[in-house]
Amino acid sequence: MIAIPRLCFFTLMISLAACSSPSVRYHTLVAPSSEDVKAIQPAPFFIAVLPVGVPTQLDMPQMVVRQGKNDALVLENERWLSPLGDEIQTSLSTELVKRLDTQDVSGLARTEAIPVIKILVQVRRFDTWPGQFVKFEADWSLSLVNGEKRKRLVCSSQFTENAPGGYTDMFLAQQQVIARLATRIASTTRQWAGDGEERCNL
């Protein structure tokens, strides 16, 4: 007869502890779809956005932010919806498809009729100072194999985006640096595929 009240007591304590624990929030780098679609010239090629490389210290479910010059803080309750490399790849693919009016055919069977430009990105830095700014650096390359025609272009990009408010502004700034990277890659890809000029747009 004593065991039942005791069991109820422990069950209540566990329930209260669970209720008091902070909830985990999940975030994505994929920006919401915009209804303001501008008419652009469709690119005469497909793209294939390859898996994105990220620094080891950032490759975790939790979000990592900077504090001061040398310290970092792991935000246990602020997590990525998918692995960070996948988040960047999906966001970048979405933005590039929109800017080039083409199709990302990564993972699909290759077609010989339309050239496919492969896009490879290696993130070197993705640092966030909450209430201040986001700093992003990446090396990236374009490669094209079209019959016997093979060529490659290697570029590098750096962006800083202000994030003066709270976490909401921080996440928007992170989305914005990926959008800026997509704009840079899209403009370079169009020019490179068109006249073959080996120049990385700024």
For the chain, what are the domain ranges? 39-195
Other CB atoms within 10 Å distance of the CB of residue 50 = 16
The proportion of the chain whose per-residue pLDDT surpasses 90, expressed as a percent, equals 68
How many Cα atoms occupy the beta-carbon half-sphere of 14 within 13 Å?
A: 6
**Annotation: CATH topology of 39-195:** Rossmann fold (3.40.50)
What distance in Å separates the CA atoms of residue 73 and residue 200, rounded to the nearest whole number? 35
Mean pLDDT across 161-177: 93
* pTM summary value: 0.85
pLDDT digits (tens, 9 = 90+) for 99-115: 999 999 999 987 778 89
Hunting for tokens 């016997």 — which residue is that? 148
Question: What is the mean pLDDT of the segment spanning 55-80?
Answer: 93
The rounded mean pLDDT for the chain is: 88
Residue 13 pLDDT > 60:
no
Better pLDDT: 174 or 67:
174
Kindly state the DSSP code that residue 122 receives in the 8-state scheme. E
Predicted local confidence at residue 16, as pLDDT:
45
Distances (CA, A) of 17 to 4, 25, 50, 76, 77: 20, 18, 44, 17, 16
